[in-house]
Amino acid sequence: MISSNVYKLIIFLIILKINHISAKGQIYTSDAKNEYYIDFEEKFNWFESQIDCFKMNMTLLEVDTSAKSLELHNLIRKVRKENNLKNTTLWIGGFRSQYPREHFIWISTGKQFTYTNWYGKNPNFLNKEEFCVKMLMAQDLQWNDISCINYSGYVCEHSKQQELRAKL
């Protein structure tokens, strides 16, 4: 059992880290009029990316349909062309859950993947440490499972709850 002092230390370190994250991305609007915050710099791990999205009242991207995948593909292709950006990788909100059985879920909703766009033989859970999902720009935004502590850019979107509130 972890002592309360260890929990306090963990919380302190998380708060310290939150205050030092400095994203330099921006909001982009897709052809479908959806807004996405994209930071193309490969300097964030998956957890830092989620925290940064949260600070903007957003969450890491949930790509739950082929239509949304195509929408993002078109948006990112356009942004890359306009800004002469190199191929990079971008964190999305997919996460490997171990319980009750092994499967991928979206961190924003907790829902299991119903749509996937895996690259090659992924997910492969290499070395039993690939719990997070990123999109590979060089592979037409196909997905790769990878260690959450690797560095990447990321894509945020407004949460489903926020979208519903805005419609009311």
pLDDT value, residue 87: 86
Helix (H, G, I), strand (E, B) or coil at 148: coil
CA distance 40 to 24: 8
**Boundaries of every domain in the chain:** 4-167
| Averaged pLDDT, 123-148 | 93
Mean pLDDT of the chain: 86
CA distance 94 to 112: 9
Q: What pLDDT, in 10s, does the model give residues 58-114?
A: 999 999 999 999 999 999 999 998 988 888 899 999 999 987 678 999 999 999 999
CA distances from 22 to 65, 126, 140 (A): 31, 30, 27
Question: What is the domain class of 4-167 according to CATH?
Answer: alpha beta
The Cβ of residue 76 has, within 10 Å, a number of other Cβ atoms equal to: 23
